[in-house]
Structure 1
């Protein structure tokens, strides 16, 4: 697991220095692997499974957000999915609460920052309240959204999707619900032309 963690950080660092231009041609076994028994989605979609406590995810976050803002083709949908963990369910809920209250742009990076830059381990639901308050959300609104049917449905969706795609580590990037990215060297190509051309 430690080796995978170091490798992921190395790949993320490579991406930061422009390694996406190494080659336009992506190869199975080198840049991606096909998920066993999976059927491609009918429309291009990229899922990034992450966890707020994951150091590699924290390093990868600026790169994936840069791709989303500057390089994502119009026809490719992007969806971040927090990997549900039974010992820290509040982190998955936090992601969807922020989404429901339209403060993801403030809360999402703030949670990462608190955990990794400030070394503030957000171990309980209540530890998240100050972050939401800074984003302009009252404790009452936070609690209401946290226990809402909509947020709970999204959490269940995240759990099912991770289970269906057999996600066991983070970050994991899946293209069209069938192809797992194994190298970031050609990330723009994988999440762009490859995604567009490899649907059902």
Structure 2
């Protein structure tokens, strides 16, 4: 009995590294290397995870709570950034996100915009105007004129342009998409798989000498 037990333990010890290796992200299938990729927000000593999203995207809506929960356990060195897919300079939802950043209200109101579109129907899925979004956010406790000003500010114009360039440089093909350290575009077969791949890429980046 003792011999059999030791043999089984030995077999498990041999199999565990194999299982771990099987989970390692594979270039070309799990992720794409972004040639000349750059981080969205340079911050030495950290690993950056950017989620490129769209408020009208149903998959992004489902991913929002998953990513938020995952981020809480990802590690102190991981920085998660949300980035709207800003291909259209007039996209009111993308501008609303940057306005929330400027007003310091992303944490509370980023999820509320998803709720308004996908559960409450208080905002349209497509073609929302600046006035409609500003009115909704005013109902959430923000000053309507401050929201309107932030959505139309030159700083927001700059961020819209920078977000578009980041998405194009990353080879964005849809939302939600995770970009790790500006170097890797995750290609998960499901939302959960995207997080698994992100974890593997974070481990790879942590192993790079700094």
1:99 aligns with 2:91: no
Match of 2:81 in 1: 79
Runs of 4+ in 1 over 4 A off after TM superposition: 21-24, 39-43
Match of 2:200 in 1: 190
Distance 2:38 2:95 in 1: 28
The answer for unaligned runs of 5 or more in structure 1 is 1-20
Match of 1:44 in 2: 47
User: Structure 1 residues 159 and 40 mapped into 2: Cα distance closer, same or farther (>3 Å)?
Assistant: closer
Match of 1:156 in 2: 161
Match of 1:132 in 2: 137
1:59 to 43, 57, 62: 62
Per-residue deviation, residues 106-150 of structure 1 (Å, max 9, x unmatched): 221111111111233152111112331133211111122122222
Does the CA-based 8 Å contact 2:137-2:147 persist in structure 1? yes
Match of 1:172 in 2: 177
Per-residue deviation, residues 135-189 of structure 1 (Å, max 9, x unmatched): 3211111122122222222222111211221213111111121212122432462
Please, which moves more after superposition, 83-92 or 47-56?
83-92
Match of 1:90 in 2: 92
> Under a length normalisation based on structure 1, what TM-score does the superposition of the two structures give?
0.76
> Under a length normalisation based on structure 2, what TM-score does the superposition of the two structures give?
0.73
Answer with 1 or 2: which has the greater Rg.
2
Tell me the secondary structure at the aligned position of residue 170 of structure 1: coil
Distance 2:201 2:74 in 1: 7
Distance 1:131 1:68 in 2: 27
Distance 1:163 1:199 in 2: 28
Match of 2:32 in 1: 33
Does the CA-based 8 Å contact 2:138-2:144 persist in structure 1? yes
How many residues in Structure 1 have an aligned counterpart in Structure 2? 178
User: Structure 1 residues 56 and 108 mapped into 2: Cα distance closer, same or farther (>3 Å)?
Assistant: same
Q: CA deviation at 1:99?
A: 0.8
Distance 1:141 1:56 in 2: 30
Distance 2:76 2:205 in 1: 12
Distance 2:37 2:89 in 1: 31
